[in-house]
Amino acid sequence: MEDSAALHVLIGRRLSRCHFPESAVTEFRKAVQLDPKISCAHELLGYPSSNSRGRAYPQGPLEFERE
C-alpha cells in the first residue's frame, strides 16, 4: 500500500482508540505533512493533543481552528 495521508489518518484513528495518543499524534502529523487539507486530520490531531493522559498541549485548540 502506498504512503498516503488517508492511510496515516486510519492508522492514527486506530491508535487513538487503543489508547496510544502519542503514536496517534505522530500519525496525524504525518497525514497533515502529506496533505495539509485532508479532511478531519487537524481535528483528529487536536483531540489527543488536548486530552493526552491529563497533559495539556497548547496545540490542541490551534488544530481545531485549522480544521
Q: How far apart are CA 34 and CA 60, in angstroms?
A: 20
Does the pLDDT value for residue 41 go beyond 70?
yes
pTM: 0.69
Does the pLDDT value for residue 66 go beyond 50?
yes
Q: Does domain 5-66 have CATH number 1.10.3210?
A: no
Does the pLDDT value for residue 4 go beyond 80?
yes
What sign results for the dihedral spanned by CA atoms 35, 39, 42, 48? negative
pLDDT at 54: 47
Higher pLDDT, 62 or 28: 28
Domains in the chain: boundaries: 5-66
Tell me phi and psi for residue 8, to 5 degrees.
-65, -35
H/E stretch holding 51 reads helix 41-51
Q: Report which residue type is found at 64.
A: F
Does the pLDDT value for residue 31 go beyond 80?
yes
Q: How far apart are CA 23 and CA 15, in angstroms?
A: 7
